[in-house]
Structure 1
Amino acid sequence: MYSAEINRKQPALLMLLVDQSYSMLEPWGQGVGSKSEALAAAVNNAIGNAVLMCNKGGEKVYNYLEIGVFGYGATTGPILHGADPNRPILPIDDVATNPRRVDTVRRRAPDGAGGVIEIEQTAPIWVDPVADGGTPMAAAFTQAEPVIETWCAAHPKSYPPLIINVTDGASTDGDPSPVAARIRELRTDDGQALVFNLHLSAIAALPVIFPTSAAGLTDSYARMLFDMSSILPPAMLDAAASCGYSVQPESRGFLFNAAAAEVLDFLNMGTVAATPTAPQDLLDPAGDRRDDSGIDRPGIA
């Protein structure tokens, strides 16, 4: 299980559910702006990495992956540029050739002598930061369910869909657990759909990363998100370990009180799990890890 070959006839599906509620205006960490800005940067970075992983070195991007991004806040629905309610997921070659725009940004990069310099780079943008309204998480999962079900029926031999929900607060439209449980029951011949949850926070507290039980979680909302989360399959366990995280066979795809670096790691792990190859430097556990998000990611000892 979770070992199906990924190719153009059997693409994988990565779906992101992104909290765009008003509380995403809060700051997140040091020097990364608001939660909405940092999360949009992380999502754009993950999509860019997915494009790289579906490129064999030339200009052509191969359709090993399909991507959907649903936002939920004042409105709920597809937010990936080029997608709409009638076409909520897009093949990766369409995504690669159709960003919303290409920005010129200043990034920090190693200078080759142990220091850091600022350079200008172009960065494709597919998702913009938004922070407005409540947190209709149940609606986001409900909208995603038929899309995932239809995709599974059309791709029975493919690697199971991977759904990553990123939020900073409690659902304001009811309990999303029942619909998340139904999504986890959807499957291809290679296994059940994977549902992972990431919680963002502006508070200074120790994160809980890839736990095996809810014992260390402090509130009912955290325990609910843990219960909604799937156990990491072997490829994800290996990817997490390669980034320096401590994982066990029963670790779940769940992060609570996650910092920016951990969210960046996790989204990149998701693209690695859903694509056939990955450039080694995307998951380099040694040294400082900096990427197209512009957020410094300290190496993990």
Structure 2
Amino acid sequence: MYAAEINRTQPACLLLLIDHSTSMSAPWADTGTTKAGQLALAVNRLLGNAVLLCSKGDDRVYDYFEVGILGYGRGVEPILHGSSPHRPLLPISELAVNPKRVDQVARKVPDGAGGVVEVMMPVPVWVDSVADGWTPMVAAVEAAEQIVVDWCARHEQSFPPIVVNVTDGESTDGDPRDAAKRVQNTGTADGNTLLFNLHLSSGARNPATFPATAADLPDQFATMLFEMSSPLPPSMLDAASGLGYEVQPGSRGFLYNAEATVMIEFLDIGTRAVTPTGLRELTAGPGAMR
């Protein structure tokens, strides 16, 4: 299980659920930005990396997976540029040629003489920072269920979908665990859909990273998110271990009170583990991601 070959006829599926509640406008630790702003940066970086992983070193981008993003705050809706309620998932090749815009961002790069120099680099943007509304997590997970059910019906032999829920607060429309279980009960011939959860906080207090039990979690909300999270399959256990995280069989795809750098690596694990060369690049260590 969780061993299906990823190719253009058997693509993988990545679906992100992003909390757009008003509380996401709070500053995030020492990042210098809000939680919503830092998350948007991380997601755009994730998509940019995904395009590179699916390319062959030229202008061709191969559709090794499809991606969708649902924002939930004032309702639940697809927010990935180019997507729609009738077409919530897009092939990665379409993302590559259709960003919302391309920003010029200052980056420090080696100058060839042992120092660094600041240069302006183009950075594609597919999603913007939003923080406005409540936290209708139940509705978001239910919307994800329908998307993955439809996708699995069309890709019965593919690696099962990966759904990542990113939030900073408790659900405002009820307990999402039943909806989460229904998502996890969907899947393909290769295994059940993987649902992971990533919790952001304004500080880095009592973090939990890929726990195998709920015994040391700080509160009931953390326990709820843990119970909503799938165990990491072997390829992702290897990926997390390759990045230096302490994992064991039964470790779940769950982060609580995550730091910004950990959030970026967590999001990268899914995309890199389900592309043909991604796992090898990932397990080379953190330097391979920079």
Distance 1:69 1:279, change over 3 A: same
Distance 1:43 1:238, change over 3 A: same
Instruction: Report the equivalent of 2:264.
Output: 264
Instruction: Tell me whether 1:186 sits opposite 2:221 in the alignment.
Output: no
1:169-195 deviation line (CA, Å, top 9, x unaligned)? 000111111111001000100000000
Q: CA deviation at 1:235?
A: 1.0
Instruction: Report the equivalent of 2:45.
Output: 45
Amino acid at match of 1:22: T
Equivalent position SS for 1:29: coil
Q: CA deviation at 1:277?
A: 1.6
Amino acid at match of 2:12: A
Q: CA deviation at 1:31?
A: 3.2
Instruction: Report the equivalent of 1:255.
Output: 255
Using the size of structure 2 for normalisation, the TM-score is 0.95
Instruction: Summarize the alignment of residues 201-280 of structure 1 with structure 2, pairs less than 5 Å apart.
Output: 201-278=201-278
- Structure 2 distance, partners of 1:34, 1:97, is 28
1:183-214 deviation line (CA, Å, top 9, x unaligned)? 10001000000000000011241411000000
Q: CA deviation at 1:275?
A: 1.5
- Structure 2 distance, partners of 1:99, 1:23, is 27
Equivalent position SS for 2:196: strand
Instruction: Summarize the alignment of residues 46-125 of structure 1 with structure 2, pairs less than 5 Å apart.
Output: 46-111=46-111, 115-125=115-125
Partners of 1:229 and 1:252 within 8 A in 2 = yes
Instruction: Report the equivalent of 1:16.
Output: 16
RMSD value over aligned CA atoms?
1.7
Using the size of structure 1 for normalisation, the TM-score is 0.92
- Structure 1 distance, partners of 2:177, 2:15, is 17
Identity %: 55
Instruction: Report the equivalent of 1:31.
Output: 31
1:138-191 deviation line (CA, Å, top 9, x unaligned)? 111111111100100110000000000000000011111111100100010000
Q: What are the ranges of 5 or more consecutive residues in structure 1 without an aligned counterpart? A: 291-301
Equivalent position SS for 1:158: coil
Amino acid at match of 1:225: L
Q: CA deviation at 1:278?
A: 2.3
- Structure 2 distance, partners of 1:174, 1:212, is 25
Partners of 1:162 and 1:274 within 8 A in 2 = no
Between 1:274-283 and 1:128-137, the stretch displaced more is 274-283
Equivalent position SS for 2:44: helix
- Structure 2 distance, partners of 1:78, 1:66, is 14
Instruction: Report the equivalent of 2:195.
Output: 195
Partners of 2:107 and 2:121 within 8 A in 1 = yes
Q: What are the ranges of 5 or more consecutive residues in structure 2 without an aligned counterpart? A: none
- Structure 2 distance, partners of 1:187, 1:288, is 31
Q: CA deviation at 1:119?
A: 2.0
Equivalent position SS for 1:60: coil
Equivalent position SS for 2:262: helix
